[in-house]
Amino acid sequence: MKSIKQVMLYAYLNSNLGDDLFIKIIVERYPDICFKLIAPTTMYKKTYKHNGNLKIYNLGVFIKKLDSMLLRITNKNIITNFLAKTCIASVYIGGSLFIQSNFNWRKIYKLNKIKMIQNQPFYLLGANFGPYQDVEFYNSYKELFRKYEDICFRESYSYNLFKDLKNTRFAPDIVFTYNPSKNIAPKKQIAISVINLKNRLSFSKYHLTYIKQLINICEDYISKGYEIQLVSFCSNQGDIEAVKEIQSGIKKEYQCNVHQYLYEGDIESCVSVLKESVYILATRFHAMILGWIVGRPVFPIIYSDKMLNVIEDTGFKGKFIRIQEIDSLSMDDVYYNLQNQIVLDIEEQKLRAEEQFLHLDKQLKYCEE
């Protein structure tokens, strides 16, 4: 009997729609491969209950404490390494995986370094690099990246930082390969994906203006007969608090026209909210990508260079606004992409995004000989 190939899977696990989509995409791409994933909560078993080839391990409190103690003593993640050693490869899939934190980046770097198993290929797919401030941060990861089997970044900026490494490539975001269920006719509804700027040190000073502008946008569209869906992609990062703050600031007579969607692990349900909308105001990176995938006009509200980098890479011609300029946002700019039906043709991105898996396909023998 032919044995099933096993792959150790690492990802950003924080109940974030975009990162959860990465896992769904790679697991469904290789249905004959058994993926192993250590997850912090049992919610992930619910999210991926239909993906029989994904084995999710939830470590109890005692095991987590034991593993942490052993890490301090041995400089090895004993339990993770035990699971990974039975695999033919390890894959780290995600987006903003390498952001420099002033207080703990060396600790995170150490955890990334010990993911590797000797003589086992390690793949990094879908990531961008930064932002970072110190050359030590960059140089440390550059030395680590040299040891990886294959690295495919999701935008040209990150690739250009490491293009002298022979194992680096660039292809569009992995989510461009996602094929949602059949599209549906949209309602007269605006979807607004939000973030909590209070939790982001470099953007916290813009929080009140951001909230105020979104309240104004909501009230303007409601006055024109639209329903509003305020969408939280990641409750653990404070999206829900931002949703509630916006709704509480909207006029009482408009409250019945404002609805909340809070992502709690049901990927298809969340994507359906975007499909049901005629227009998407996207602060979350993957709200922008998914809006393009479902063929809707999107107005990006840019809080991170990764969004601007992808806008430049895709050649998007619509209007957008940076968080730093949010106080100057005009309703004419907001109207523009919907009124002019600025819908990005993503066929090229979809095809090129498949290249994220180019070398992993070969490793798992999913390519033609």
**DSSP conformation letters of 115-181:** T--TTS-EEEEEEEE-----HHHHHHHHHHHTTSSEEEESSHHHHHHHTTSTTEEE---GGGG---S
Say what the pLDDT of residue 1 is: 45
85-95 pLDDT, tens digit each: 999 999 999 99
- CA atoms of 153 and 49, how far apart (whole Å): 29
User: For all residues of the chain together, what is the average pLDDT?
Assistant: 94
Say what the pLDDT of residue 292 is: 98
* Of the listed ranges 128-132, 181-185, 288-292, 307-311, the one predicted with least confidence: 181-185
Say what the pLDDT of residue 25 is: 98
Q: Is the pLDDT of residue 367 over 60?
A: no
The residue whose two tokens read 């004419």 is: 332
Distance between first and last Cα of the chain: 23
Whether residue 309 contacts residue 289, with contact meaning beta carbons closer than 8 Å, is answered with no
Q: Is the pLDDT of residue 48 over 80?
A: yes
Say what the pLDDT of residue 151 is: 99
6-177+350-363 matches 189-347 in fold: yes
Residue % of the chain over a pLDDT of 90: 86
Contacts within 8 Å (CB) and 24+ apart, 295-302: 295/183, 295/343, 296/186, 296/343, 297/337, 297/338, 297/340, 297/341, 297/342, 297/343, 298/337, 298/342, 298/344, 299/333, 299/334, 299/336, 299/337, 299/338, 301/210, 301/326
CA angle 8, 13, 14 (to 5 degrees): 175
Say what the pLDDT of residue 366 is: 65
| More confident site: 236 or 67 | 236
Q: How far apart, in Å, are the Cα atoms of 243 and each of 100, 188, 265?
A: 27, 20, 18
Cβ atoms < 10 Å from Cβ of 288: 28
188-198 pLDDT, tens digit each: 999 999 999 99
Architecture of domain 189-347: 3-Layer(aba) Sandwich (3.40)
Say what the pLDDT of residue 64 is: 67
Q: Burial-class residue 183 by CB neighbours within 10 Å (0-12, 13-18, 19+).
A: exposed
3-class SS of residue 303: coil
Q: Identify whether 121 is preceded by a cis peptide bond (ω within 30 of 0).
A: no
CATH number for the region 6-177+350-363 comes to: 3.40.50
Domain boundaries, the chain: 6-177+350-363, 189-347
Mean pLDDT of 285-308: 97
Q: Is the pLDDT of residue 141 over 90?
A: yes
| More confident site: 322 or 369 | 322
Say what the pLDDT of residue 72 is: 73
Q: How far is CA 14 from the centre of its chain?
A: 10
